[in-house]
Amino acid sequence: MSILQNPLGIHGTALKLREQRTAILASNIANVDTPNYKARDIDFSSVMAATKGHNMSTSHGRHIGASNYQGLHGENMIKYRMPNSASLDGNTVESNTENSLFTENSLRYQATSTFLNSKIKGVMSALRGE
């Protein structure tokens, strides 16, 4: 029954988080020449773990559970990146790091989106029962 109770599983949350990480990494890349800008990022696995802990409780078996992911609350989830070398203008963006992480993030986003697609197709074929 779990596929019909929570058909998309964890992938919906993961996709949303990947999307927000895209914006964070795009911010870093955009500010590569801004003095005193500090590169930021999230630790994906710890944020994912935190979203599981904050499940909204339901007091009745027939309540529909709300999405447990509420967004990147607070600065404690967003961390500053430690640069490999210091720069004179106080900027900590290293374009190689940011570019590779951006590529990695977008690949993982595509992967999650493929998983979601398969889930949706699975549910659709189960509903049709053909």
Partner 1 sequence: MSMLSALKISSSAMTAQMVRMNTTASNLANMDVVGSTADEAYRAKKPIFKTVMENNTLNNFEASVKVNGIYVSDRVNTQRYDPQNPAASDDGYVFMSNVNSIEEMVDMTNASRSYQTNVEVMNATKKMMMSTLQLGK
Q: Is 50 in the site for partner 1 (CB under 8 A)?
A: no
Q: Which amino acid is at 115?
A: F
One residue of 65, 73, 122, 126 binding partner 1 per CB under 8 A: 73
Q: Which amino acid is at 53?
A: G
Q: Is 54 in the site for partner 1 (CB under 8 A)?
A: no
One residue of 6, 55, 67, 95 binding partner 1 per CB under 8 A: 95
Contact 28, 80 (CB under 8 A): no
Total number of residues binding partner 1 (CB under 8 A)? 37
Q: Is 6 in the site for partner 1 (CB under 8 A)?
A: no
The CA-atom distances, in angstroms, between 71 and each of 20, 33, 50, 52, 58 are 9, 28, 11, 12, 20
One residue of 13, 51, 69, 72 binding partner 1 per CB under 8 A: 72
CB of 16 to partner 1, least distance (A): 8
The CA-atom distances, in angstroms, between 116 and each of 67, 97, 121 are 16, 28, 9
